[in-house]
Every structure is written in structure tokens, then in C-alpha cells.
Amino acid sequence: MAFQGTMLAIEAQQVIALRLTKMAMGGPAAQKEAELMVSEKLNAMAESGQMMMMGALGGKQDMNADKVMAMYRKKVQANVRRLSA
């Protein structure tokens, strides 16, 4: 989990830098990115909450922390690819 957490932090910093650059340029693309960012965060929060609840109901002491971390990394990596293109 420590390695996965470290990688998530590094990848998230890449997304932040790419998004800030895009937003600094302004225009319709920046507005669309801001809206996408908010909707992605809300969806990821709901998905992770569901995963944690299922883990808790299933008696998993860590509440599916590994699955939640993997889900966030997958989404962050997709953003790096999309914003880098």
C-alpha cells in the first residue's frame, strides 16, 4: 500500500500541473476541464464510498483500501494520458 500511495501522489501531482496549465490558458477548454474535474471527483468519491461500504459489510478490516487505491490510480493515470495528449 505504501508504494501504491506514493505512486498515486506522484501521478496526482502530474494531473494537477497539467490541469493548472490548461486552465491558465483560459477559454472554453478550461471551463470544460474544470467541469470535468468536479464531476470526476464526485463520481470517484461515490465509487470509493461504495467500495468501502461493501468491504465493511463483507467484514474486511481494511474496508477494501487496496481496491479503492487501485481505482483512484486508474482514474488518475487516465487523466495523465488524456491531458498529455
* Consecutive H or E run containing 55: helix 27-57
- Amino acid sitting at position 50: Q
Which residues touch 37 (CB under 8 Å, ≥6 apart)? 19
For the chain, give the mean pLDDT.
96
Domain residues for the domain of 54 are: 29-85
In a domain, 33, yes or no: yes
CA gap 34, 43 in Å, rounded: 14
Average pLDDT over residues 9-32: 97
69 domain-assigned: yes
83 occurs within a structural domain: yes
Q: How far apart are CA 72 and CA 45, in angstroms?
A: 9
Summarised one tens digit per residue, pLDDT across range 43-81 is: 999 999 999 999 999 999 999 999 999 999 999 999 999
Instruction: Judge contact between 16 and 26, C-beta under 8 A.
Output: no
Number of compact structural domains in the chain: 1
